[in-house]
Structure formats: structure tokens, C-alpha cells
């Protein structure tokens, strides 16, 4: 898939560029919130700097949290704009919203090489509803649209698919890089090619699991979603988190496929609190009052062996409730295996990245063979469909 790149734009001087970024980053609490983790911002800096150096007038639009069409003060974009100022070393103005006359006035006052950030796009319900009038109004502020928001590109939102109908549209550098890395999995994977899928909800990952079973050599399942798979196989999972409405759908999947690996043992407890007592049990021996909260040591040994023999690895979702050290050994063990692998590795999902970065001793993840995607849901959707809804306006014809 080839996308129209911003490098194709011949003259950016004085052009108003509406840049859709995904700066949906975690904030610290309190009266003066600050950005707690800035990966999504720093990954977009090459595109921002390129456009500013070309003397474009930069209009950034992003969402933050889930305000659901209501102005929630705690979800203001202001802390994000302040962090961006620090990273760029350049003043970042803020508009009061996305579509008012006051916003237009601020944008019209900008000079080439200056930058403004719109207030949270999801303060407007029209954003998620892909409202045509909202899209047209946003587009009227700019000459060019650029998509730099890979993590939102599976969403049919106004700023993702509506605005491109009214403006010449291109892909930013980060979006191009994400698609290039993920496309490699389909087109040129070195084998053995394996996938690790964890997390909570099987409903959001069943499609990609089905697709991966067709193209990967091994698919390993962990996390709470493994409980639903175990139950679909007729194995008792006690009080473990299960998506009951997915059990029937899973039974239609070929759960006996030798390429599909599910936990053979688990770490259980009768509590999900910090003072919980953890113990190892076979996957078929979970008591009625117990929760399965991590993969067990035998499962980890199996997964470790598969990972170490692999040459291409995709990982999305932790193997257990890693926030509690008593149930983090599965996720930590997978990180150990990945760190010692020379395979091409693509990692996606906020929780997965959080687990990795929480282990300070493994911060040498900045290696050429390891790529950490900025998108979790978007990554899974691309692996399932080989495209995303917001990419369609950007594809070279």
C-alpha cells in the first residue's frame, strides 16, 4: 500500500495545514495536570518540524480521553500543548474549540512557521458522529489535510474521514512508518513468524486471531482473554474474567489447531487485590472461587521456546494482571524472551508498551529489530483487514 506523502507537496510556504495527530496521552492528576508519557507526541515531531521548516501554518487537531461531546475541564488539550511547546521550543497557541468564529480568527492571524492547537475535538459530538457540516467547517480553515494519527485511523470520525473529502490529503511520516512496518508482516515475514495476543477482551481480537492463524506459524494466547478461550473449550475458569457472549463464537473457531497455543497452567488467587496470595494451577484445575490472573510457568516456558526460535514476532496485550507484581511474571517473562531475540519484533497496545516501559532495566528496547507501534486497536484492525478506513483518501492512485 502506497500513501500520498507530504513530500509530494511542492510548496508549503504560507499554506494552512490541518494536521490530525493522536496526542491522546496519559495525564497526571491534580489541579495542574501534566503529560505523564509523551511517546505519541515525540513520534510525530519529525512531521511537525518538517512542516514548520517549510514555513507552513500548522493547525493541530486531536482528541483526549472520552469527553463524549461535553466540555470536561480535566480533558482539556492545554497540558498537551504545553508539553509540545517544551519539545519544539516554540510557542503553541490554543483555540477555544474546533469550529467557532474565534477559532477562525486565531488561525487567520497566524504567520508562516507558526503553530496552533485546537481544543479537544471530542468536546464536539459531531467528531465521533462524522458530521458533514462539522467536517466542512474544519476543512474551511485549511488548504491541506495531513493524517498523522495512525492510532485513530481505524475510526470513521469527522477529523479522520470527513475532512479529507474537502481538502487535498496526505500521510504524515509517522503514519507512513506505521503502515510500512505492519505491511512487512504480510509481504515479507521471516519465518518462523509468531504472534502473542493478550489483554482482556477477545471480542476486539478474534478477527485478528483468525487472520493470524492463516498466516503465522504459531499464535500464543494470554491475559484475561485466554479465560474465554479456555471456557469455550469446556474448561472451568472459576470466577475469572470471561466474555460470556463470545464463548459460542469461539467454539466455531478451530481451537484444536496445533498452531494455536493457550495456557496449560495459570497463576490463580481468590482475590484481585495487592495482598492476594498467588499459586500455580493446571488450567483445568481452577477452583470455583478463584481468578486466573496470569499465565503459569509451564506456559511461559513453552512461549519462551517459541519466541526464541522465531524470526518475526507480533505482540499485542499483556499476559496477565501485570500491574500487580504477583501476577506479572508471565508478561515479564515474555519481555525477557523478546529482549533476547534477534527477530523482527512489532509491539502494539498501550498496556503492552506500559508494561515494557515500567521495567526500567529493559529500556534498551530502542533497537533496530524492535518497533513499538503508537496504536493498539488500529494495529489489530490493520492486521485483520490489511487496511484502515482513514487510509482510503490517502492511497496513491
Question: Domains of the chain: which residue ranges?
Answer: 6-176, 189-385
CA distance 85 to 88: 5
Name the residues annotated as catalytic: 40, 201, 350, 377
Is 189-385 in the same CATH topology as 6-176?
yes
Q: Which residue has the cell 515479507?
A: 188
Residue among 18, 13, 10, 3 at smallest CA distance from 146: 18
Q: pLDDT, tens digit, for every residue of 349-394? A: 878 877 777 664 454 555 678 888 999 899 999 998 999 999 999 9
Phi/psi of residue 193, nearest 5 degrees: -110, 120
Average pLDDT of 69-74?
95
The predicted structure's pLDDT at residue 155: 97
Q: What's the Cα-to-Cα distance from 214 to each of 105, 147, 254, rounded to whole Å?
A: 53, 31, 11
Q: What's the Cα-to-Cα distance from 52 to each of 56, 215, 313, rounded to whole Å?
A: 6, 42, 36
CA distance 344 to 243: 32
Q: pLDDT, tens digit, for every residue of 124-172? A: 999 999 999 999 999 999 999 999 999 999 999 999 999 999 999 999 9
Architecture of domain 6-176: 3-Layer(aba) Sandwich (3.40)
Q: Domain 189-385, what fold?
A: Rossmann fold (3.40.50)
Average pLDDT of 260-280?
93
**Which is higher by pLDDT, 143 or 249?**
143
User: Could you tell me the pLDDT band of residue 52, with boundaries at 50, 70 and 90?
Assistant: very high
The predicted structure's pLDDT at residue 367: 64
Determine which of 4-8, 156-160, 198-202, 266-270 has the lowest per-residue pLDDT on average.
198-202
Q: pLDDT, tens digit, for every residue of 309-327? A: 999 999 999 999 998 999 9
Q: pLDDT, tens digit, for every residue of 205-245? A: 999 998 899 899 999 999 999 999 999 999 999 999 999 99
Average pLDDT of 110-135?
98
CA distance 226 to 294: 10
Q: What is the pTM of this model?
A: 0.92
Amino acid at each position: 500500500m502506497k500513501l500520498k506523502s507530504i513530500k509530494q507537496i511542492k510548496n508549503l510556504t504560507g499554506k494552512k495545514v490541518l494536521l490530525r495527530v493522536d496526542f491522546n496521552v496519559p495525564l497526571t492528576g491534580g489541579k495542574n495536570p501534566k503529560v505523564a508519557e509523551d511517546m505519541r507526541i515525540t513520534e510525530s515531531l519529525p512531521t511537525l518540524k518538517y512542516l514548520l521548516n517549510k514555513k507552513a501554518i500548522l493547525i493541530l487537531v486531536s482528541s483526549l480521553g472520552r469527553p463524549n461531546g461535553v466540555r470536561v475541564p480535566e480533558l482539556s488539550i492545554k497540558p498537551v500543548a504545553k508539553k509540545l511547546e517544551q519539545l519544539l521550543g516554540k510557542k503553541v497557541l490554543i483555540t477555544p474549540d474546533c469550529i467557532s468564529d474565534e477559532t477562525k480568527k486565531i488561525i487567520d492571524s497566524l504567520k508562516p512557521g507558526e503553530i496552533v492547537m485546537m481544543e479537544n475535538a471530542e468536546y464536539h459530538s459531531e467528531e465521533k458522529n462524522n458530521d458533514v457540516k462539522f467536517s466542512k467547517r474544519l476543512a474551511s480553515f485549511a488548504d491541506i489535510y495531513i493524517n498523522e494519527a495512525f492510532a485513530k485511523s481505524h475510526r470513521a470520525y469527522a477529523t479522520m474521514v470527513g475532512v479529507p473529502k474537502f481538502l487535498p490529503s496526505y500521510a504524515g511520516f509517522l503514519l507512513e512508518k506505521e503502515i510500512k512496518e505492519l505491511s512487512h508482516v504480510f509481504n515479507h515475514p521471516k519465518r518462523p513468524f509468531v504472534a502473542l495476543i493478550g489483554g482482556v477482551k477477545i471480542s476486539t481480537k478474534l478477527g485478528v486471531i483468525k487472520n493470524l492463524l492463516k498466516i503465522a506459524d504459531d499464535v500464543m494466547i494470554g491475559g484475561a482473554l485466554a479465560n474465554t478461550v479456555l471456557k469455550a473449550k469446556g474448561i472451568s475458569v472459576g470466577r475469572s474474567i470471561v466474555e460470556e457472549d463470545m464463548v459460542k463464537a469461539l467454539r466455531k473457531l478451530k481451537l484444536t489447531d496445533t498452531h494455536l497455543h493457550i495456557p496449560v497452567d495459570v497463576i490463580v488467587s481468590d482475590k484481585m487485590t495487592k495482598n492476594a496470595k498467588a499459586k500455580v494451577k493446571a488450567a483445568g484445575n481452577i477452583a470455583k472461587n478463584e481468578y486466573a490472573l496470569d499465565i503459569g510457568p509451564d506456559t511461559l516456558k513453552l512461549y519462551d521456546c517459541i519466541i526464541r526460535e522465531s524470526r518475526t514476532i507480533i505482540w499485542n496485550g499483556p499476559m496477565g494482571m501485570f500491574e500487580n507484581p504477583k501476577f506479572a511474571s508471565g508478561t515479564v517473562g515474555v519481555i525477557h524472551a523478546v529482549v533476547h531475540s534477534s527477530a523482527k519484533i512489532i509491539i502494539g497496545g498501550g498496556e503492552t508498551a506500559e508494561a515494557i516501559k515500567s521495567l526500567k532495566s529493559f529500556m534498551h528496547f530502542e533497537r533496530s529489530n524492535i518497533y513499538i507501534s503508537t496504536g493498539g486497536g488500529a494495529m489489530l484492525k490493520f492486521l485483520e483487514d490489511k487496511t484502515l478506513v482513514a487510509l482510503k483518501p490517502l492511497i496513491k492512485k
